């Protein structure tokens, strides 16, 4: 009886460790959405990645204070994402407070070029 208990508990602990180790972070989940043509109900057959391959061109987006896509202004990153959702992916704007928006935004933030260590001269 005791061995069964120990086995069960160890399996449980193992499962917990595995799920923690392999759980995708928000940026990774965002990346998956970014490359999913059906994200936000998109019907254009294009994912965000079709036009922004590997997020190219969006490296500065996380720090922008104002956006201008195709002649239209957007006040923040979430609006810019929804602008592309509606006008590029032919999908439906998603809730700016939704998990999906948070994931996409954290993916776009992850595209920021990493600061290089400054060497002293």
For binding to ligand HEC (CB under 6 A), which residues are involved? 39, 46, 48, 50-52, 57-58, 60-61, 64, 67, 69, 77, 80-81, 84-85, 88-89, 104, 108
| Nearest residue to 65 via CA among 77, 55, 54 | 77
Give CA angle at 61 (56, 67), nearest 5°: 120
CB of 16 to ligand HEC, least distance (A): 33
CA 75 from centre of chain: 19
Residue appearing with tokens 């959405």: 33
CB of 72 to ligand HEC, least distance (A): 10
CB of 23 to ligand HEC, least distance (A): 23
Give the residue with the Cβ less far from ligand HEC, 16 or 38: 38
| Nearest residue to 30 via CA among 44, 22, 40 | 40
Give the residue with the Cβ less far from ligand HEC, 13 or 92: 92
């Amino acid at each position: 009886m005791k061995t069964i208990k120990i086995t069960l508990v160890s399996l449980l602990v193992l499962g917990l460790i595995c799920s923690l180790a392999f759980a995708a972070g928000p940026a990774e989940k965002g990346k998956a959405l970014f490359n999913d043509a059906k994200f936000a109900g998109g019907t254009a057959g294009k994912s965000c990645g079709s036009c922004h391959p590997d997020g190219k061109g969006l490296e500065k987006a996380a720090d922008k204070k104002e956006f201008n896509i195709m002649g239209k202004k957007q006040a923040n990153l979430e609006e810019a994402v929804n602008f592309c959702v509606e006008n590029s992916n032919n999908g439906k704007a998603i809730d700016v407070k939704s998990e999906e928006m948070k994931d996409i935004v954290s993916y776009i933030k992850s595209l920021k070029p990493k600061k290089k260590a400054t060497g002293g001269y």
